[in-house]
Amino acid sequence: MNTAPIAVKTPLHRQHHNDVVIDNYEWLRDKDNPAVISHLEAENAYTDRRTGHLELLQEQIFEEIKGRTQETDLSVPVRQGLWWHYTRTVEGQEYGIHCRAPISDPADWTPPALPTANTATDAPGLPGEQVLLDDNAEAAGHEFFSLGSFDVSDDGTLLLYAVDVEGDERYTIRVRTIETGENLADEIPNTSEGALFDPSGRYLFYTTVDEAWRPDTVWRHEIGSAASADVTVFSEPDERFWVGVGLTRSRKYLVIEAGSSVTSETRLLDASDPTGEFSIVWPRVDGVEYDVEHAVLDGDDRLLIVHNDHAINFELVSVAAGDPLGERRVLLAHNPEIRLEGVDAFRDFVVVEYRREGLTRIAIDRRGDGAGLTELQFDEPLFAVGTHGNPEWEQPTIRLGYTSFVTPSTVYDYVVATGEMRQLKQQAVLGGYDPLVFEQRREWAIGRDGTRIPISLVFRRDLVTPGVPAPTLLYGYGSYEQSIDPGFGIPRLSLLDRGMIFAIAHVRGGGELGRLWYENGKTTHKRNTFTDFIDCAQHLIDAGYTTPEHLVAEGGSAGGLLVGAVANLAPELFAGILAVVPFVDPLTSILDPSLPLTVIEWDEWGDPLHDPEVYAYMKSYSPVENVHATHYPRILAVTSLNDTRVLYVEPAKWVAKLREVGADALLKTEMSAGHGGVSGRYSAWRERAFNYAWVIDAAGAHPSGEPEPVIAD
């Protein structure tokens, strides 16, 4: 039976701004309704039947991912206090094992040499290893497992951890005595991620969410007390704002951050007085965002603040910690060509992260005055670099993570005093990986309004000849100022080895080219995101990289909205659309302030509930609202039942409407997963193998890895 499931139509009338919408599939929102579960299971069974011919290819790709991955492995240790902290993985186990080992010399900041696993079961750690938490043991008996908080007290005696076993991003905090491995009575359910100890280890701070899944309240818990006695430290009433809690690297201040998409506010508390009152650094001003770092410059306590007050690409200033509203010393002035993204302060130097020409950059300021910046240099045309694992205030090195389309993830320590760059580890790629076989390059599409849009591509030189069309996967996101940077991925090799091109369209709405790149792809400029992607696809076709019969689009979450809108606007350009946890019914969701995160989203998309122009604009591009009779490309929508960010009902409704007009649309719902998909690395690899097998089939690539040339029409 290859007949597609047909969802029952139960008309629901919705009226806003004198516009009446009939929604036949809103009933699918009730996941407690057995009929809903039955429908999703029928969709899964139909998808299984329709993709049955790809089972061998799926298994081949899974084995390729598995065969290229060093399954028994150990991360580069990070020094915290008198311990090296690291995570191990063991072949055959889904999750990591969090460990620590004592440092041999307090003056030694060089990580110990990593041991090598000789057999599948040989999983060596460092000498003196202590296992802090084995995620495999914690996940036993659960179909889903996610670790949302992990912190060790400053004295090294207590472990705080929080787990989610449903996929709904609500975590239960527990506290463990490290020496005995036994948990204390302290247990706090229904928290958000990111809990931590205060420096004394006597208290822990955590956040909880409201009914709309918005982290809105910070709590203080005293170790050994009942959760019912916990104290509300701060609660944010404005539904546009989320809150988080943390510590400065210096351990001098506890930090509460409240932020919307366009506005932020930070509160500080001297960590030596954890039961005291937090004070505001800068009062919130609509449209002003800022981040705060504590530094000691010339013996004075200073706050380094990256902000966008009359500086759209942000600038860096220094203010007195005791008088943050006083004189601002400008350390790095606003630059329209550089998007300043963050600053990390250490005892003896400052690290600045920014974007220039669409790529991430890092510079070291040894004096802390912004005048002596040294930018670190890398010799690839495309790359991504960022600070990675630097918890210690007094450390003399900077830990960096570096990658590109062709360079596996690499960990460096940069010695600030000497400028030495020490490579500590590069991600192993088993089976004889040769980066020289691959080429990465940058193309520029010209948008319909004249805007130049960057495209990043990677392919195998021996299998793809520029100008000769090849099967291509074009990925896009374009929301929340999130940049999709070039990075290495073992699963992607299974596409490239079959003669496919992988490309990223860096469309407006992302942050690759600065804040204006984001501003011009949000709210009532959102259509630029979609037309940019279409223009990138057309560029790849016109430049001879591919043809419409061999081009597949992929996007996830807000990127799912992107490819869903593109399917309506330019279906003729694509052979397939892969939409992962796709936000394809945005108007319905953003109209309902009771849904998770809706009010927070108004800064990103606009407020259609109260603004008729925003309502009309969103309705004009919403994928569900604009399904029409046309020849759609093949569509695969992948979602998760317990996703609290983009509810499964959105792709379920979208597929049902696509079926009404005869589209070849499949829906696959993970019944025990959240927004990030299934948990566990082997499960994730199988999920990726399923998606990529479908992509290879839709793009017309050769499934065996022996590609045949694509003949342009």
How high is the pLDDT of residue 708? 47
- 118's tokens: 């000789």
- Determine which of 398-412, 579-593, 643-657 has the lowest per-residue pLDDT on average: 643-657
The whole-angstrom separation of Cα 230 and Cα 616 is 46
Mean per-residue pLDDT for 559-588?
97
How high is the pLDDT of residue 713? 37
Residue ranges in 322-471 assigned as alpha helix (H) = none
83-89 vs 97-102, strand pairing mode: antiparallel
Mean per-residue pLDDT for 100-125?
79
The whole-angstrom separation of Cα 515 and Cα 566 is 24
Q: How far from chain centre, in Å, is Cα 514?
A: 19
| pLDDT higher than 80, residue 643 | no
Q: Bigger pLDDT: 226 or 677?
A: 226
How high is the pLDDT of residue 167? 85
* Residue 255 banded pLDDT, cuts 50, 70, 90: very high
* Strand partners of residue 444: 454
Identify the sign of the CA torsion 422, 425, 429, 430.
positive
How high is the pLDDT of residue 114? 83
How high is the pLDDT of residue 395? 96
pLDDT tens per residue, range 475-530: 999 999 999 999 999 999 999 999 999 999 999 999 999 999 999 999 999 999 99
289 touches 262 (CB < 8 A): yes
213 touches 191 (CB < 8 A): no
* Residue 212 banded pLDDT, cuts 50, 70, 90: confident
Mean per-residue pLDDT for 246-266?
97
227 touches 188 (CB < 8 A): yes
Kindly list the distances between the CA atom of residue 84 and the CA atoms of 109, 125, 436, in Å, as whole numbers in the listed order: 10, 11, 35
| pLDDT higher than 80, residue 674 | no
* Residue 473 banded pLDDT, cuts 50, 70, 90: very high
- 96's tokens: 């990591």
* Residue 65 banded pLDDT, cuts 50, 70, 90: very high
The whole-angstrom separation of Cα 646 and Cα 385 is 29
* Strand partners of residue 264: 259
Mean per-residue pLDDT for 48-53?
97
The whole-angstrom separation of Cα 618 and Cα 607 is 10
| pLDDT higher than 50, residue 562 | yes
Catalytic residues: 557, 643, 675
Identify the sign of the CA torsion 48, 51, 54, 59.
negative
The whole-angstrom separation of Cα 82 and Cα 103 is 6
- In CATH terms, the superfamily for domain 37-66+438-699 is Alpha/Beta hydrolase fold, catalytic domain (3.40.50.1820)
Element (H, E) at 554: strand 551-556
- 576's tokens: 């397939």
| pLDDT higher than 70, residue 310 | yes
Q: Where are the domains of the chain?
A: 37-66+438-699
| pLDDT higher than 70, residue 136 | yes
How high is the pLDDT of residue 72? 93
Long-range contacts formed by 241-246: CB under 8 A, 24+ apart: 241/216, 241/265, 241/600, 242/214, 242/215, 242/216, 242/600, 243/207, 243/215, 243/216, 243/217, 243/218, 244/194, 244/207, 244/215, 245/194, 245/195, 245/196, 245/205, 245/206, 245/207, 245/218, 246/194, 246/196
Q: Torsions phi, psi of 707, nearest 5?
A: -65, 145
* Residue 34 banded pLDDT, cuts 50, 70, 90: very high
The whole-angstrom separation of Cα 175 and Cα 173 is 7
175 touches 154 (CB < 8 A): no
How high is the pLDDT of residue 464? 96
* Strand partners of residue 362: 353
314 touches 334 (CB < 8 A): yes
How high is the pLDDT of residue 350? 95
* Residue 286 banded pLDDT, cuts 50, 70, 90: very high
Kindly list the distances between the CA atom of residue 424 and the CA atoms of 71, 109, 412, 417, in Å, as whole numbers in the listed order: 19, 12, 5, 18
pLDDT tens per residue, range 359-379: 999 999 987 666 678 999 999
DSSP one-letter string for 92-159: T-SS-EEEEEE-S-TT--SPPPPP---SSS-----TT-EEEEEHHHHHTT-S--EEEEEEE-TTS-EE
User: What letters, b where the CB count within 10 A reaches 16 and e where it falls short, cover 481-508?
Assistant: bbbbbbbbbbbbbbbbbbbbbbbbbbbb
Element (H, E) at 14: strand 12-16
Mean per-residue pLDDT for 13-20?
96
What letter does residue 429 receive in the DSSP assignment? B
Q: Bigger pLDDT: 709 or 27?
A: 27
304 touches 343 (CB < 8 A): yes
* Strand partners of residue 363: 352, 375
The answer to whether the pTM exceeds 0.75 is yes
Element (H, E) at 295: strand 290-297
Those residues whose C-beta lies under 8 Å from the C-beta of residue 66, and which sit 6 or more positions away, are: 682, 685
| pLDDT higher than 70, residue 277 | yes
Nearest partner of 498 among 711, 682, 699, judged by Cα: 699
| pLDDT higher than 70, residue 410 | yes
Q: Torsions phi, psi of 175, nearest 5?
A: -125, 130
The whole-angstrom separation of Cα 43 and Cα 659 is 12
How high is the pLDDT of residue 710? 43
Identify the sign of the CA torsion 491, 492, 494, 495.
positive
Kindly list the distances between the CA atom of residue 613 and the CA atoms of 16, 526, 581, 601, 616, in Å, as whole numbers in the listed order: 11, 13, 27, 17, 5
Q: Bigger pLDDT: 213 or 394?
A: 394
How high is the pLDDT of residue 415? 96
> What is the crossing angle of helices 527-542 and 612-621, to 10°?
30
% of the chain with per-residue pLDDT over 90: 88
Kindly list the distances between the CA atom of residue 19 and the CA atoms of 14, 609, 619, 707, in Å, as whole numbers in the listed order: 8, 12, 10, 51
| pLDDT higher than 50, residue 119 | no
| pLDDT higher than 50, residue 49 | yes
- 148's tokens: 């949302």
% of the chain with per-residue pLDDT over 70: 96
Q: Bigger pLDDT: 298 or 269?
A: 269
The whole-angstrom separation of Cα 452 and Cα 521 is 14
